[in-house]
């Protein structure tokens, strides 16, 4: 994907490092952002191709970040993968997010989703909410 940019907006360092590895393996330049406030600031400066977004963050919450991404015309093509432990909230966001994954996240599933970014316009058409590793809802 050449110069494709991905933001991992996640406050847990170990989790964000795993997500970074998956994205970098797929050819993305990846930036880890650990607070909601920092995410809002970076999204004002740059337009990522993909965002992996946790919902529970210090400062501005992930659902507000998702709303802002979807309201910003510059990010009309940005793919958003929401990753959270809050299944009830996640289901309310499935129409805004491209994919919603419930923690714990299967890294193999994440790898498959990221790999689809290279080849298919409907890259997430068969996944909306994943309840747990390997279980689609």
Considering the entire predicted model, what is its pTM?
Answer: 0.86
Token duo for residue 81? 């993968």
Map tokens 């907006």 to a residue.
Answer: 9
Q: Average pLDDT in the 44-57 region?
A: 96
pLDDT at position 2 is 56
Q: Which domain holds residue 33?
A: 5-136
Q: How many folded domains does the chain comprise?
A: 1
E-state strands within the chain: 5-9, 29-33, 50-54, 79-84, 99-102, 129-132, 135-136
Find the radius of gyration of the CA atoms of the chain. Answer: 13
pLDDT at position 137 is 40
Backbone phi and psi for residue 11, each to the nearest 5 degrees, phi listed first: -90, -10
Query: What's the mean per-residue pLDDT of the chain?
Result: 85
From the list 137, 132, 28, 17, the residue with the least C-alpha distance to 79 is: 28
Instruction: Judge contact between 86 and 69, C-beta under 8 A.
Output: no
Distance CA 2, CA 110 (A): 20
Q: What is the CATH number of the domain that holds 29?
A: 3.40.50.2300
Confidence of residue 107 (pLDDT cuts 50, 70, 90): confident
pLDDT digits (tens, 9 = 90+) for 14-41: 999 999 999 999 999 999 999 999 999 9
pLDDT digits (tens, 9 = 90+) for 115-128: 877 555 554 454 44
Q: Average pLDDT in the 57-72 region?
A: 97
Q: Which residue has the higher pLDDT, 6 or 127?
A: 6
């Amino acid at each position: 994907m050449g110069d494709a940019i991905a933001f991992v907006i996640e406050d847990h360092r170990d989790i964000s490092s795993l997500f970074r590895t998956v994205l970098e393996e797929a050819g993305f330049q990846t930036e880890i952002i650990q607070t909601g406030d920092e995410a809002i600031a970076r999204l004002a400066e740059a337009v990522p191709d993909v965002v992996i977004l946790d919902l529970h963050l210090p400062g501005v919450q992930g659902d507000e970040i998702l709303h802002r991404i979807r309201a910003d015309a510059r990010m009309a093509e940005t793919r958003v993968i929401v990753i959270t432990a809050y299944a009830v909230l996640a289901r309310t966001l499935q129409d805004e997010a491209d994919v919603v994954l419930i923690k714990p996240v299967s890294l193999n599933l994440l790898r498959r989703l990221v790999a689809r970014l290279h080849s298919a316009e409907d890259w997430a058409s068969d996944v909306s909410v994943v309840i747990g590793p390997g279980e689609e809802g």
